[in-house]
Structure 1
């Protein structure tokens, strides 16, 4: 047995990781422990990312503290996240002045070279009613952006800017070298709700000047034929992903088939994804933006309402997807809390889309549908690599039928390996997820998390490295992960 390692003998990377996990005051306390720990306190790795929050009650104090940080560690920064909170008519003046002071200090430093800039949900439409404060904030941000020369990722989702302010920010982004260095841009909900930006030539000109974009996250109604053609001509094979968010009334804003066909030819590596909330498009035909020629790879459907009256439209959409995108669709996700009678349409789409690799469904579907999906996968009529089904409303008899079908497949197929909870696992094991490990002949279920999950209502099977996970929605249900933005702060890993 190896001798225990003393704290003084920990490698630098381990200490830096511990530093990274604690607050600033705790980091300072650690630095006062010994010379070695004080040495690592100044490591550049420790200060790559900074998140600045201008709270309503302490905006000026925050600005002073963060300016002190810039003076000492500004040269280490790669990623900066700015959050201005939720100002009101009493605090927006103080917050805008504090943010302006902070940003001005960044502009005055030549050694701050940001790679990522994140403006966390500014919501200027909702929180900034006073023109003077809003203009001060936007002007300061534009000045800081123009100062940067190596930006690669810009996250401005949820900014909800006026047309003129949004164009100012975009023009600042494409000024100088940033137009050639920015590869990732998140501009969903960047403009006020009712703004159709592509009707203004100023916007079209600005958004078309990016020449190195690889990943674009943008609202569908921010695009038209001209913008999409400009993307295709400018980016070509550089573009890898175009994620489109559908919201509001898009009738009359449809991008024609010929534009999509031309885009697919010029950007053959680009994966196009559609993210659609059916609640927002209530009353409209969901098939409208899904035209022939669209190189659709990913579809994500969701709803906010438990009683969303969209069943008929959803059924028509699933059949529409199966007819038009049977050769291109690779990932499909559908998250609804209460929808009936979609089983036939879901199976129709799955049978048609032979290139589909990832399936995630949270909806009311029958046990027969689950069994059919398992059998289709077993018969190699589906090419799925991962299946995640979260279902509700099934009876004990339904679960028994599903389990019996699973056992039949296990008995008849040699390479169909069960990797779910064992027979001896307790249903009150206290785990939120079941991590699966195949240990030769023995298969174990590993517990993790703090919530409760009924092990009898969740199992996974695996066929040729294809994992199927099924769980009862009544046993575990939580907020869905935001598909639009993945903020990974663990830069040391």
Structure 2
């Protein structure tokens, strides 16, 4: 009788080659055959990207993967609850291990909030520890292509130092840089001193997110004619607007679009009443606006929405507006045009694919008009039931809210060619109803999606 094959005697290079043809699940099953195959499972080829999660249920897995793969993994995402001291410590320990990794090409922090709650009496120690680790990671990772701090305000306060480090160590490799922030108090915050010249050192940059506070004609010149950079996405977060802020001219946007024909711009207004009022000063005809978001700004600027319709009809694909109800009722907005502002937007912006309006009053007839104008091209159409207003005949003010019948829902669905229904209150963020609720929970994941590696 022939002897049974001894799979453990195969050369490691053959075991790794065999495992490379298997799915992740089958690879795990095969590695249970013996210790040698188990060791080959942790070959760097199979762990090029790891999403570390510090939650209680993932903690053991994360610690194991950190110890086994932290020094050779290439792409890292760290998800942690920034209000949980234990998870902040866990994140710090992961960073300690990553300091010795010379293979990193992508580094992303994804905290649950824009503020990190450091352990009591040790806040200075932990901030310095985080920053020291980030400095070591940048210095050791000469091939870093993606860098994101996920709106962590206490780290972004040191953006100027971090930019200089990236410029000295990764200027020819870095393709994606995210240093935009979230200011929950848009009227009182310090502006970090960043120079446009700090961005000139990056010759491969494709994706950038930055605060409007740092937008300038000089910054855009870094991506204009004669520059090697071919920017593809630019995300601008708007908070307060300084009265002395330099106005970015249409000429600068024309020059950028000439050098970066694929450029797509996202504008996020976050807790920014000033941003709503000054939106027409931010916008320029040549700005290639692809996505507009407005989050808890307490007001709407119909004139700016009309501007979208006139100037971004060939670029605008997504609009997302959310605000809190006013004493339990949706906020009305007033347009000087005969037709509704958003109906005109749907008519003129032929690329529009996503439309979300939460917290503002919208007529049932206007919902139907938007659905008919955009049809199946509109992939997302989120309107709360509690914000839908109905007019009785010969009335100019809403007769009732939060009532639509099955025939209306069916008609909208038929126009869209997919099953549509208005959002129930239970599906909406708590901050829409409660002014004391944490509004950040309503938008943090949406904004973090801008920072994912392309």
TM-score by length of 2: 0.69
**Aligned pairs (5 A) from 1:187-198:** 187-189=179-181, 194-197=189-192
Gap regions ≥5 residues in structure 1: 1-10, 21-26, 407-458
Question: What pairs with 1:334-349 in structure 2 (closer than 5 Å)?
Answer: 334-336=321-323, 338-341=330-333, 344-349=340-345
Alignment of 1:152-163 (within 5 A): 152-161=145-154
Partner of 1:375: 372
Within a 5 Å distance, the mapping from 1:214-363 to structure 2 comes to 214-233=206-225, 238-253=230-245, 254-277=247-270, 281=274, 284-303=277-296, 308=298, 310=299, 313-336=300-323, 338-341=330-333, 344-362=340-358, 363=360
- Give the corresponding residue for 1:409: none
User: Which of 82, 106, 114 is residue 116 of structure 1 equivalent to?
Assistant: 106
Gaps in structure 2 of 5+ consecutive residues: 1-17, 325-329, 389-400, 430-441
Q: Displacement, 1:71?
A: 6.2
Alpha-carbon contact 1:217-1:244 (below 8 Å) kept: yes
Q: How many residues align?
A: 391
Pairing partner for 1:17 from 24, 27, 46:
24
Counterparts in 2 of 1:123 and 1:361: CA distance versus 1, 3 Å: closer
| Distance in 2 between residues matched to 1:164 and 1:397, nearest whole Å | 47
Aligned match of 1:485: 448
User: Residues 99-114 of structure 1: matches in 2 within 5 Å?
Assistant: 99=92, 106-108=98-100, 112-114=102-104
- The 3-state SS of whatever aligns with 1:242 is strand
> Aligned partners of 1:256, 1:125: CA distance in 2, in Å?
37
**DSSP 3-state at the match of 2:235:** strand
Residue in 2 that maps onto 1:48: 48
Q: Is the 8 A contact 1:386 1:468 kept in 2?
A: no
| Shift in CA distance, 51/19, structure 1 to aligned 2, threshold 3 Å | farther
Q: Tell me how far apart the structure 2 counterparts of residues 233 and 152 of structure 1 sit (CA, whole Å).
A: 23
Contact 2:175 / 2:204 at 8 angstroms: preserved in 1?
yes
Q: Match of 1:428? A: none
Aligned twin of 1:366: 363
CA RMSD of aligned residues (A): 4.5
Matches within 5 A, 1:352-431: 352-362=348-358, 363-377=360-374, 384-393=377-386, 394=388, 398-403=404-409, 405=411
Contact 1:460 1:470 in 2 (8 A): no
Q: Distance in 2 between matches of 1:35 and 1:133?
A: 38
Choose from 151, 158, 165 the match for 1:172. Answer: 165
Secondary structure at the residue paired with 1:291? coil
Partner residue, 1:439: none
CA displacement at 1:175 relative to structure 2: 1.8
Matched residue SS, 1:173: helix
In structure 2, relative to structure 1, the CA distance for the partners of 1:405 and 1:142 (3 Å cut) is closer
Tell me, what secondary structure is at the counterpart of 1:221? helix
Report the secondary structure of 2:130's partner residue.
helix
Matches of residues 29-178 of structure 1 in structure 2 within 5 Å? Answer: 38=38, 41-44=41-44, 46-50=46-50, 72-74=68-70, 76-82=72-78, 86=82, 99=92, 106-108=98-100, 112-121=102-111, 127=118, 131=124, 134-161=127-154, 165-176=158-169, 178=170
Report Cα offsets for 1:124-157 as digits up to 9, x if no partner.
7874986565344323321221111211211112
CA–CA separation in structure 1 for the residues paired with 2:99 and 2:217: 37
Change (3 A) 1:334 1:34: same
Structure 1 pair 333–481 and aligned structure 2 pair: CA distance change class (3 A): same
Residues 43/16 of structure 1: CA separation in 2 closer, same or farther (3 Å cut): farther
Instruction: Give 3-state SS (helix, strand or coil) of 1:287's partner.
Output: helix
Shift of 1:282: 7.6
